[in-house]
Amino acid sequence: MPIVAYVFDAYGTLFDVQSAASRNAAAVGPQWERLAEVWRAKQLEYSWVESLMGRHPDFRELTERALDVAMSAVGVPGGEVRGALLDAYRTLDAYPEVPEVLEALKNRGARLAILSNGTPAMLADAVQAAGIGDLLDAVISVEEVGVFKPNRRVYELVQKHLGVPPAGVSFQSSNAWDAAGASAFGFRTVWVNRAGRPREYPGEAVTEVRDLSALVGMDI
């Protein structure tokens, strides 16, 4: 079946999760990169643990909790910088190639969507800041099913919103575990390995690229 829809993870795939800390590097100090790393790691860890415990605080709450732990871990004091970091997370920078790639895929006649752990409000802010709203057919949040990725119920939302079976979907994520989950569900999956990390889930049928520009002209 030909690809009918391209579905993108949001954080780390379309939007640079390090940009909140990099914008505030002067206030955070030289440890801003370490702060960004711990913040992201804890944010994801909390999503998995809460799901396994059968609970579902929203992603905004987990983002705030993860930031508090990260600031403590790297020795960044609270106060105004905490608010500035959270405000910056609402409007993360899109990766440079994102608008051009989305436009090229849209011009090809494909349907485009985001599927994310983020809340609807978080995603609306990020999409608006990036100026890509007109290119998207759907912005889908896990809040509809009350569980985080890589639960299968999350990936099922794509067919609900777009009416496209898994075989007609190309799913893109920078998170290896998300790409593996999407592949296991039945999507044709692309791992956007921007950092050149070693392959973590070799059993899954996942195409690996360095950035989203590789999608243009790709036959997967």
Do the Cβ atoms of 200 and 177 come closer than 8 Å? yes
DSSP labels, 9-60: --BTTTB-TTHHHHHTHHHH-TTHHHHHHHHHHHHHHHHHHHHHTT----HH
State the burial class of residue 187 (Cβ atoms within 10 Å of its Cβ: 0-12, 13-18, 19+).
buried
C-alpha gyration radius of the chain: 17
Which 8-state DSSP code applies to residue 83?
A: H
Task: Quote the CA–CA distance of 193 and 190 in Å, as a whole number.
Answer: 9
User: Is residue 87 within a helix (H) or strand (E), and if so which, with residue range?
Assistant: helix 80-90
Encoded amino acid at 21, one letter: A
Angle of helix 80-90 relative to helix 59-74, nearest 10 degrees?
140
| Residue among 9, 16, 58, 93 flagged as catalytic | 9
Catalytic, 87? Answer no
Alpha helix locations (H) across 112-186? Answer: 120-130, 152-162, 176-185
Tell me the catalytic residues. Answer: 9
